[in-house]
Structure 1
């Protein structure tokens, strides 16, 4: 793992601890609200474990934040220009999913995230990660098999989907080629 990614994991862990402590929550309270074990929370907060996309979604849902907002608070510095070399990169240790935060930190209620989903990879996210926000998914390259609750969408390059009410979602790349897509998140709070 690269130093830059290790550093992001440490920043994410520190941010989760800050968010938990700002709410006056114990490890047990965050565990109850997120469905993540106390032991795993402790490992993530100390930077000893890289959180998966599912864990990040559970933490963000417990805090009432979008996953993008939680990660931006951990990773980003203020400024109107965010150069490619400075865009925070995070890799899900389970799926190999690579997430690059593209939009600069600002007071705009919008986040833009670039995702690389490897061939045959699958990422499931709970409905709690979509509360208080609207999402657009725009396929930039390849194909994305996306399940939103009970609804399945087979998306091709150039397709853009607006998500409906929060529901459990699955992002899957069933092809032999990587899939690249952008997620545009608009906060509704």
Structure 2
């Protein structure tokens, strides 16, 4: 009986997630370098038809074929698979000026809060605000809330109270404090004033 010779690569249909991932990475890398399928196929020593099927996730290429294709595209196998198991993610992206404007107790004229992220879960974890003040005569109440607040000054000068202490904040300054202690603007020294205020509703300590 004659021994059966198995070819080095047998095309397999199936369009698995792994095959689609490999094909997508190879195609994006090839197009980024303005190379044609014929260019890469020639460099890697595979047929144009085979490369087209690989890019479309229609075959499962051998490890040797992948190594040659990666080398033809100037990448390693490690680079080819580096994003294979990376979660898709789902970050909130708020464009400049599109933060949700909210009103807080005791703040009326010359004072705006723009909420920069919207926590839609059952429990708020964090609230980042961009706060703008442009009326130096406004009188502010004190605030209390759970968690820890972080302030980072962007523009202007303000005297900010936390408990019995006041702090002069200028651009580049930051202030971190427990939200359960009464706090708030004491005196607006130079307007307009802009700062980021991030409230973390986790544990205070």
- TM-score normalized by the length of structure 1: 0.49
Q: Which has the higher contact order (CA 8 A, sep 6+)?
A: 1
* More helix per residue: 1
Task: Please say which structure displays the higher CA radius of gyration.
Answer: 2
